[in-house]
Amino acid sequence: MKLGLNNFIHLLVIMSSHLTKNLIELERDKVLSEVKERLIQGEEPMRIIKECKEGMALVGEKYKNKEYFLAELMLSGELFKEAMELIEPYLAEKTAEGDIKGKIILVTIQGDIHDLGKNILATLLKLEGFKIYDLGVDVNPDIIVEKVKEVQPDFLGFSSLLTITFDPMKEVIDKLKEAGLREKLKILVGGGITTPLVKDYIGADFQTIDAMEGVQYCLELIKARVVIGARGGI
């Protein structure tokens, strides 16, 4: 008997913990009260985080499988953030640098003040273990170039909702090339206004209007680098 993807996800949900299930079902009050209760009872915070992360991973699967929509992805991200705010005071130490999967600078460039897509991507990537350098909105191209020099990230992600951002984004990428910083860096561009034509025009590596596709792109590249690295490629 063949087990379809929907059924497989459903099975994983059934097998999940109470907390995980409630997070998947976006039961905000139940999730937050359970987290509070378990923390008070002295439970190991990392175990609670793990269950929340499992819930988030399954929400992501449901989104990829078109069972969930952007709304549910956003709600689960907010719920996870709220749970983490409760848990953080109980954590002995912050995540060590060595646990970071990759580094990404996210920015909305000069002239544009939209940040919704950027913020959603930041939440999802943080959850996957990326260190986020969020430069905010309406940012001067030179500041972005300087930040790339300073941080040496794996990725640079532009969020764009206005066509007037195309030339400043191109300017950043041209300057990164001149500074010899482009080669190892992968550049993403996303937002309702972007198309493959825009990707080619500015000289980015990847374009999407779907935050989850952006996450997948980063994860796959990091995974590929690890494999190449293990073979002695990097």
Partner 1 sequence: MKEEYMTPQERMTAAINLEEPDRVPIAPIVGMDLPAAYYGLSSAEMHKEPIKGLDAMLKFFDEFGGWDGYTTLPLYKSGYILGGFKFKAPGQELPDGPNYFGQFDEGEWMKLEDYKTVADIGWYKFVSNEYIYRISNWTPEDVDKARKQFFELAVKAGQEWIVKRKIGLRAGANRVHPFFTLSLNRSMIKFTQDLYYRPELVDAALNIMTDELIKTVIAQCKYNGGNVVFIPEERAEGAIYPLKIFERFWWPYTKIIVEELSEEGIIPWFHLDQCWDLNIPYFKELPRASCIIDLDGLTDIFRAKEILKDHLCLMSDVSASLFSIGTPKQIEDYVKKLIDKLGVDGGHILSSGCEVPPNCRPENFKAFLKTGKTYQLSKE
Among 20, 22, 110, 208, binds partner 1 (CB under 8 A): 110
**What Cα–Cα distance (Å) separates residue 158 from each residue in 98, 109, 192?**
26, 7, 12
Residue 26 falls in which region: left (phi positive, over 0), alpha (psi -120 to 50) or beta: left
- Name the E strands within the chain: 102-108, 130-134, 155-159, 186-190, 206-208
**What Cα–Cα distance (Å) separates residue 71 from each residue in 26, 76, 178, 201?**
11, 9, 40, 31
Among 9, 12, 39, 74, binds partner 1 (CB under 8 A): 74
| Contact between 136 and partner 1 per CB under 8 A | no
| Contact between 224 and partner 1 per CB under 8 A | no
Segment near partner 1 (CB under 8 A); pick from 30-38, 105-113, 149-157, 215-223: 105-113
Closest CA to 221 of 139, 155, 161: 155
| Contact between 85 and partner 1 per CB under 8 A | no
Among 153, 168, 190, 214, binds partner 1 (CB under 8 A): 168
The least CB distance from residue 177 to partner 1, in Å, is 19
| Contact between 75 and partner 1 per CB under 8 A | yes
Among 69, 149, 227, 228, binds partner 1 (CB under 8 A): 69
Tokens standing for 184? Answer: 């190892």
| Contact between 22 and partner 1 per CB under 8 A | no
Task: Tell me whether residue 145 or residue 222 sits nearer to partner 1 (CB atom).
Answer: 145
In angstroms, the CA 165 to CA 111 distance is: 7
In angstroms, the CA 191 to CA 170 distance is: 16
Are the C-beta atoms of 104 and 217 separated by less than 8 Å? no
Segment near partner 1 (CB under 8 A); pick from 48-56, 128-136, 146-154, 188-196: 188-196
| Contact between 28 and partner 1 per CB under 8 A | yes
- For partner 1, how many residues bind (rule: CB under 8 A)? 31
The least CB distance from residue 184 to partner 1, in Å, is 27
List strands edge to edge, sheet with 130-134: 130-134, 102-108, 155-159, 186-190, 206-208
Q: Which residues bind partner 1 (CB under 8 A)?
A: 26, 28, 68-72, 74-75, 78, 110-114, 116, 138, 162-164, 166-168, 192-195, 197-198, 201, 209
